[in-house]
A and B are shown apart, each in its own frame.
Chain A
Amino acid sequence: MLQRLASPRTGGLLALAAAIVLLPFLLSNSYFYDIAILVGLNAIVCVGLNLLIGYAGQISLGHAGFFGLGAYGSAILASRYGWPPLAAMLTTTLAVAALAFLVGRPILRLKGHYLAMATLGLGIIIFMVITTEDKFTGGPDGLSVVPFSIGEYTLRGERLWYWIVGALLLFAVWLALNLIESPAGRALRALHSSEVGAEVVGIDAARQKVMVFVISAVFASVAGSLAAHYSGFVTPGKVAFFHSIELVTMVVFGGMASTFGAVVGAAVLTTLPQLLTVFKDYEMMVFGAVMMGTMIFLPRGVVPSLGRLLELRRQGAASRSDPRT
């Protein structure tokens, strides 16, 4: 099952669509819908981030910054200046794309840990501006956001939002899969394995990297805008360093270079805190241990590791194979 999810495109898309359609039968009240919506919004960010981390091989520890810019951009334009939410969202998205494009080129020249630091720094600077400029942003206590409306029609209620987010997630996954299969996507993968090698065969590595950086920032920004309108409130918590780490963890947990892995990662890590409440005082320890444990034993992520395991089993290979090899 998971293996089929992990590989062919259409099969995977159909499975995801089926999951989105069937899930409401298990959602007995709006609390469960709420969790599902949060999963969907995180998954949209992760699908974009996975293009950057998994396919282009570039780290970003600052994507919460883009998410936050999307959320606050929409919130401020729509709630403080009375813009129509759709216009606010589109303007914000364009601005975030422009920002990502501007900083992308110099930042993506950096490698490995230096890139990690630069993106982290970028995220922190955005965070500080948002917490400090409280005249616009409401500061650390946050800002109320008007509901999303198109013309006279206002989007309210978890059930409606569920279908909107579900459809958008499907669209995001479809977009990401198409990108990966396109010539640009192949160039990206070449970049991941060897940047110099890719340049030798005539790929403009810098341009490709910036392009993916911008795309991933746009995914994050749109999800941020929607999240702000959906929950009716934004606080700097979603812009903070730790949220960037959460996003990266979702991508890596599900499986780098696996679009469906990113969705699974978002689903598991979004629901985990709700499950861990039973541990009470031990919650933090268990969360840390889960993070360490999965990365140690499934360094390739859940979906690729399990997919591989299933494949090996199907081939009738040694049934007790080590998922790490």
Chain B
Amino acid sequence: MSAQFMQYLLTGLTVGAIYALLALGFSIIFNASHVINFAQGEFVMIGGMAAVSLTAAGLPYLLAVPLAIAAAALVGLALEKFAVEPARGASVVTLIIITIGASIFLRGLAMLVWDKNLHPLKPFTGDTPIAIGGATILPQSLWVLGVTLAIVLALSWFFGRTLLGKAMLATSHNRLAAELVGINVRMVLFLSFGLSAALGAIAGILIAPITLTSYDVGVMLGLKGFAAAILGGLGSGMGAVVGGLVLGIAETMSAGYLSSAYKDAIAFVIILAVLFFMPSGLFGKRGGERV
């Protein structure tokens, strides 16, 4: 029984870590621009697919991974420049449609650049399961957990200690005030898309060896990432991480103990229940509506 619980927990943590990386991407862009980027899942796809095709072309991981991340970041920057920037000031729902349009466009593009097949990626360090307390975990899952932790630490350093990070944070609190103290708000917006695309790509490369990758792998992951970001509270880094892990663990626990057919539905019921009592998510900013 406890070995079973352990297995569910380890699986939930791995799945949750990926959701957390996606949720962080949502939050970073939301903070800078108040845009929910529904194309976030496509960065996961681009990262994974680019890594697959680069390694297939014979590049070593040390080269292929940074290049794949850079490719996704470039797409992120282009998205900001050509789709979000020109629509500044549009309503929430208009921006949602723009980013969904972008995600359809990117998927169509990926279908042409690559193909419609599933692709495997070689695990970073072997495929031999590691036993922990009667449960097993793949070495790649440890990579997922480790890299996610490292990214969370790096981000909190970045936003807490560096000038650029603080500028981005300031912009999220009050765009006008940030502009007044000389922060280049447009630059912050631009960079936030690059950063969040890079995060998505890292997630995509990390899970490709476990789950395979294809041109449409981003759709469901994007939705789950959004759900995690909302559950944690939009714009909160802490919230994104907790939201992701809670969602991942809730899913695997429901699959294990309740019903695997309804595990996603159960996850959404949990989110709805949380929102009924905490309308801004677990760690979201409270506060009134601007009149």
Contact = CB atoms under 8 A, between A and B. Distances in A.
Do A and B pair up? The answer is yes
Interface of A: 53, 59, 61, 106-107, 109-114, 116-118, 120-122, 124-125, 128-129, 132, 194-197, 241, 245, 248-249, 252-253, 256, 281-293, 295-297, 299
A281 B112 contact: yes
Nearest to B259: A132
A121 B93 CA distance: 17
B29 to A, nearest CB: 12
A291 B98 contact: yes
B36 A295 contact: no
Contacts of B86: 296-297
A118 B275 contact: yes
Nearest to B235: A113
B151 interface: no
A295 B87 contact: yes
Given A132-B261, A256-B93, A299-B91, A291 B230 contact: no
11 contacts: A113-B92, A113-B230, A120-B223, A122-B272, A128-B264, A252-B97, A281-B111, A284-B111, A285-B104, A291-B101, A292-B83
Contacts of B112: 281-282, 285
B49 to A, nearest CB: 15
A248 B109 contact: no
A288 B102 contact: yes
A117 B92 contact: no
Question: Which of B90, B93, B106, B269 counts the most chain A CB atoms within 10 A?
Answer: B93
A110 B279 contact: yes
A107 B277 CA distance: 11
Contact of B98 (A132, A241, A284, A292): A292
Contacts of A292: 83, 98, 101-102, 105
B101 A289 contact: yes
Nearest to B109: A285
Nearest to B280: A114
B271 interface: yes
A237 to B, nearest CB: 14
Question: Which of B95, B262, B265 counts the most chain A CB atoms within 10 A?
Answer: B265
B281 interface: yes
Contacts of B227: 117, 121
Given A61-B96, A289-B105, 20 more contacts: A106-B276, A116-B36, A116-B92, A116-B96, A121-B269, A124-B264, A125-B265, A128-B261, A128-B262, A241-B223, A249-B97, A281-B112, A282-B112, A284-B107, A285-B109, A285-B112, A289-B101, A291-B105, A292-B98, A299-B90
Contacts of A295: 87, 90, 94-95, 97-98, 101
A227 B258 CA distance: 35
B190 interface: no
A299 B288 CA distance: 27
Interface of B: 30, 36, 83, 86-87, 90-98, 100-109, 111-112, 223, 226-227, 230, 234, 261-262, 264-265, 268-269, 271-272, 275-276, 279-281, 288-289, 291
Given A114-B275, A116-B96, A118-B275, A124 B280 contact: no
A291 B91 contact: no
Contacts of A296: 83, 86-87, 98
A196 B106 contact: no
A171 B245 CA distance: 49
Contacts of A120: 223, 226
B104 A288 contact: yes
A121 B101 contact: no
Given A117-B275, A288-B102, A197 B36 contact: no
Question: Which of B83, B230, B262 counts the most chain A CB atoms within 10 A?
Answer: B230
Contacts of A197: 291
Contact of A288 (B108, B264, B265, B288): B108
B80 to A, nearest CB: 13
Nearest to B261: A132
B268 A125 contact: yes
A107 B106 CA distance: 32
Question: Which of B103, B227, B276, B281 counts the most chain A CB atoms within 10 A?
Answer: B276
Given A113-B230, A122-B272, A124-B264, A252 B93 contact: yes
A132 B97 contact: no
A118 B112 CA distance: 34
B48 to A, nearest CB: 19
B98 to A, nearest CB: 5
Contact of A125 (B96, B269, B280): B269
B23 to A, nearest CB: 12
Contacts of A116: 36, 92, 96
B125 to A, nearest CB: 36
Given A113-B92, A113-B234, A249-B97, A287 B108 contact: yes
A109 B227 CA distance: 18
B92 A288 contact: no
A286 B223 CA distance: 23
A293 B86 CA distance: 10
3 A-B pairs with the lowest CB-CB distances in the bound complex, closest first = A288-B105, A291-B101, A284-B108
Contacts of A110: 275, 279
A155 to B, nearest CB: 35
